[in-house]
Structure 1
Amino acid sequence: MVAVRVSTGRTLGALCATTALLAVTGCAGGSAESSETEGSTGPLDVLVLASTQYPEEQQAWFEATAATFREETGAEVRFETFASAADEQKIIQTSVVSGEGPDVYSLGTTFTPVAHATGAFVTFGEEEWEAVGGRDRFTEATLAMSGPDESEEVGVPFLSRPFAMAYNTELFAAAGLEGPPQTWDELVQYGQALTVDGRFGAAIGYADNFDPWKFVWMFANQYGNPLVDGDQVTVDDPTVQQAYEEYFGFLTEDGFVSPEAVGWSNSQALASFAAGQSAMMLMTGPTAIPTLDASAVAGKYAFAPMPAVPPGETALPSGGEPATTIVSGDNIAVADYSDDKELALAFIELVTREEEQVAYTETFGDLPTNAAAAEQITSSSDVLGPILEAGAGAVPTPFTGAWSEVQLALTDVVVQSRSDLGAGAIDTGALATRLTEAQQASQTALDRASAQ
């Protein structure tokens, strides 16, 4: 039985579920044979993001995983879900204060720094990693957001979700376009050329809970602004104002995005692309594949990395980062307050096994973090090549406990601007005011995180 190392200090309830998962793996030892986990009784509470795209499939996965877990450990696992980054943040904060909540948390990679900053998660050393199958079980790229360095890792890679673009190869050929665009200006030209006969050039989910800030982050990095530079936030920099104006301008100025996109989530934008109503889908990834393969564009689409040259430029500016996707996906973290840490480790070991990860990918599209599963999946699918290319060049978001509040501030700017967007024009003065407010909120969060 592995001795789980527990850090002292503030307790993060939202991450407790993750701790429970890690503990389970320790007792399971990688074996698929039934054996109750010594010292842990459960039930194990696990928090995960609700799937709006595949809700029935997610429920079936909950039931199947719980059944396997019960057979192997003798304990029950109970899944609960959250719907947005704001929900995720609230649960974490509430659990830190109360000292109770899920045992195991499946966290977005950008929220892992929040978990680490609390000091309230199990830190993974040699014993913990061995309990979940070994650190070398996972692909190296997915470990980039496990912690600030190898000595302080709190997140175990669960799913990989690089972002890319999808395009309708049939519509591209009909328009005389050879291959995907290489710069954002070229993408605008493509989008306008493809906006004909009631069809739009691209689909975007302006009302999505997660996507909007990623466009702003991407453009800002390409212009040379990482948004957090040491102890300074640079959200009110002119490059960020330009990033928002370009992002909104796809609809208001360039006219190749449907006005309905103001109210679209990512899944609604994907539905437009899948129905052939939009020729490109921006900020998408492997989770779209099951939907597309069962749609009107099956066999008529391809993926490509999004352009690495920012709007208004013909080449990457000096100091610019060719960022087209964050290191994206989900990590599993284990809460210190959990009484079932061994069960938590066993759960993590279970859901990161090769066969489990392959089955998950085939159902939901998320790429495996298990190295053997990743090799098995990628060697049998040509369509994944461009997504893997994008993932190989993924740029991590700043590893600071303040980042979740920074990304929420960036998202809030979009939320506040949506009424203007729906009216067809963005008030640049109002946008500048919103960025000043976002800068203040983000800098306060960074100062607070730095002082801890």
Structure 2
Amino acid sequence: MRRIRAAAIGAVTLSLALAASACGGGTSTDGGGSGGSPKTLTYWASNQGASIEVDKDVLQPELDKFEEQTGIKVELEVVPWSDLLNRILTATTSGQGPDVLNIGNTWSASLQATGALLPWDQAAFDTIGGKDRFVDSALGSTGAQGQDPAAVPLYSMAYALYYNKQMFADAGITEPPATWDQLIADGQKLSGDGKWGLAVEGSNPSENIHHAVVFAKQHGADFFTADGTPDFTSDAAVTGVKQFVDLMAKDKIVAPGNAEYAQNQSISDFAKGKTAMLLWQSASANLKSQGMSEDAYGVAPVPVQSGAPGTGTGVNSMVMGINLAVFKNTDNLDGATEFVKFMTSDAEQKILNQAYSSIPPVKGAQQDTAFTTDANAVLKDTLAGSAVAAPQVPDESQFETAVGTAVKELFADAAAGRAVTEDSVKAALEKAQQQMPAK
């Protein structure tokens, strides 16, 4: 999911949404739903580019193309990440939603549980060319296991380590770190004189949860048991979260001010040479918007404990990305399905994913030379072999907020000079677990 995910949603709000099963898009007269017309669709797009205006510039020509081909006009609204989840949940209860919308792929199971989204069974997939057009890693983040997907993959992303080539050369570092021990050692060489080894977004719960899941996985932990019960305080989960926060608290390679970062400030610092390394998902477009040349940075897999990314404890990213969903009670189901088919066609996948520096989840589009750069090779390899899907549980969005906020508070402690210990990390995760709905 992307770009800045502020999944600020409380358990009460989601509970209301769950109670309003299948209450989705439809017939509002103020821009929600299709308004009963087979010649119009309303589309909520997530903010993928450097600004909402950038997204409009990317998307509108494609929507015009769709109208030319089908006669169906698409009314576009680009929704900031800070508003998107709450807007979607409100739509599930009010019925005043769009026909088609983007959802962060980590929300798939939570939104699936509302019953408001069209299930994509085999027959539905057949209308857009078949399920086997999509890569497995992307399909794995479309809803709960054993159920028909709640959405169709649109953009795929993965985390990578971005590093400043000149800063590395000046410090005598000849290759990017493959383990966290190497990253810390390099980061300490690169820190000083107002510059820092690594940038994070410590005040962004959604960025925090992505890293928390990865660090926990690298120590053998999951945040949920097999039956979906929260398990936030295992020794391995505590160790993983502490290792992440310790990059600031103990290792001193992250500036204390990063505890307040939540809106792409880490991207800006990296692009301006204030920090030497950045952990980010599909960052090339954002770095370009900040004026950083592609020649100025390298891209490598996110480090792992052993130095060998892969499955199990070699996991180094969540499977990130955007899915395309249809509200079940849209008044223009045929048009909405046609739009999904258009947006996931090979041709459109090449155009849109190239614009956003993401990876097409459609196999045919992935083969295009636009996606064979060194940076994209790292992202594709990560998605294929060393990324893990977000927990596909109905309470995933509350999990993101609760644990992501716990990590935010731990970063605040580190920045203020308060000790970050195993006990304090466990207490923060215990508090987060208590905020989860009772099973």
After TM superposition, is the score higher than 0.5? yes
* Shift in Å, 1:10: 1.1
1:220 and 2:216 aligned: yes
Offset from partner CA, 1:80-109 (integer Å, 9 cap, x none): 344336x44423432332233122121111
> Retained in 2: the 8 A contact 1:12–1:92?
no
Q: Percent of counterpart pairs with the same letter?
A: 26
1:438 corresponds to = 432
- Aligned ranges for residues 156-235 of structure 1 at < 5 Å? 156-231=152-227, 232-235=229-232
Q: AA paired with 2:223?
A: L
- Aligned ranges for residues 9-408 of structure 1 at < 5 Å? 10-11=21-22, 13=24, 41-51=38-48, 53-84=50-81, 87-149=83-145, 152-231=148-227, 232-265=229-262, 267-282=264-279, 284-289=280-285, 291-292=287-288, 295-309=291-305, 321-377=313-369, 380-393=372-385, 394-408=387-401
Q: AA paired with 2:102?
A: S
> Retained in 1: the 8 A contact 2:414–2:420?
no
> Retained in 1: the 8 A contact 2:156–2:321?
yes
* Shift in Å, 1:431: 4.4
Offset from partner CA, 1:108-137 (integer Å, 9 cap, x none): 111111122223322223332122232233
Moved more, 114-123 or 403-412: 114-123
Distance 1:60 1:315 in 2: 41
Q: AA paired with 1:46?
A: Y
Offset from partner CA, 1:132-159 (integer Å, 9 cap, x none): 2322332232212223457612211100
Please report the TM-score for the alignment, with normalisation by the length of structure 1: 0.82
> Retained in 1: the 8 A contact 2:159–2:316?
yes
* Shift in Å, 1:227: 0.5
Moved more, 214-223 or 378-387: 378-387
**Residues 245 and 126 of structure 1: is their aligned pair in 2 closer, same or farther, counting only changes over 3 Å?**
closer
**Residues 100 and 290 of structure 1: is their aligned pair in 2 closer, same or farther, counting only changes over 3 Å?**
closer
Q: AA paired with 1:388?
A: K
Partner of 2:63: helix, strand, or coil?
A: helix
* Shift in Å, 1:212: 0.8
Structure 2 unaligned runs (5+)? 1-19
**Residues 40 and 136 of structure 1: is their aligned pair in 2 closer, same or farther, counting only changes over 3 Å?**
farther
**Residues 248 and 116 of structure 1: is their aligned pair in 2 closer, same or farther, counting only changes over 3 Å?**
same
Question: Which structure ranks higher in relative contact order (CA pairs < 8 Å, sequence separation ≥ 6)?
Answer: 1
> Retained in 2: the 8 A contact 1:44–1:343?
yes
Offset from partner CA, 1:298-334 (integer Å, 9 cap, x none): 313111111121xxxx689xx9522111111011111
Moved more, 377-386 or 134-143: 377-386
Partner of 1:80: helix, strand, or coil?
A: strand
* Shift in Å, 1:177: 2.2
* Shift in Å, 1:266: 5.8
Distance 1:105 1:14 in 2: 10
> Retained in 2: the 8 A contact 1:166–1:304?
yes
Partner of 1:177: helix, strand, or coil?
A: coil
Distance 1:254 1:158 in 2: 38
Distance 2:75 2:159 in 1: 30
> Retained in 2: the 8 A contact 1:103–1:338?
yes
> Retained in 2: the 8 A contact 1:181–1:190?
yes
* Shift in Å, 1:418: 4.9
> Retained in 2: the 8 A contact 1:13–1:100?
yes
Offset from partner CA, 1:236-287 (integer Å, 9 cap, x none): 22333333332222123221112231222362211111122211111x1324
Partner of 1:114: helix, strand, or coil?
A: helix
2:5 corresponds to = none
Offset from partner CA, 1:2-44 (integer Å, 9 cap, x none): xxxxxxx812537999xxxxx99xxxxxxxxxxxxxx952532
> Retained in 1: the 8 A contact 2:359–2:371?
no
**Residues 234 and 103 of structure 1: is their aligned pair in 2 closer, same or farther, counting only changes over 3 Å?**
same
**Residues 153 and 15 of structure 1: is their aligned pair in 2 closer, same or farther, counting only changes over 3 Å?**
farther
Q: AA paired with 1:399?
A: Q
Q: AA paired with 1:115?
A: L
Distance 1:297 1:71 in 2: 36
1:35 corresponds to = none
Structure 1 unaligned runs (5+)? 1-8, 18-22, 25-38, 448-452
Offset from partner CA, 1:142-179 (integer Å, 9 cap, x none): 21222345761221110001111111223223323232
> Retained in 2: the 8 A contact 1:158–1:329?
yes
Q: AA paired with 1:80?
A: E
Distance 2:144 2:370 in 1: 28
Distance 1:426 1:344 in 2: 53
Cα root mean square deviation, aligned: 2.9
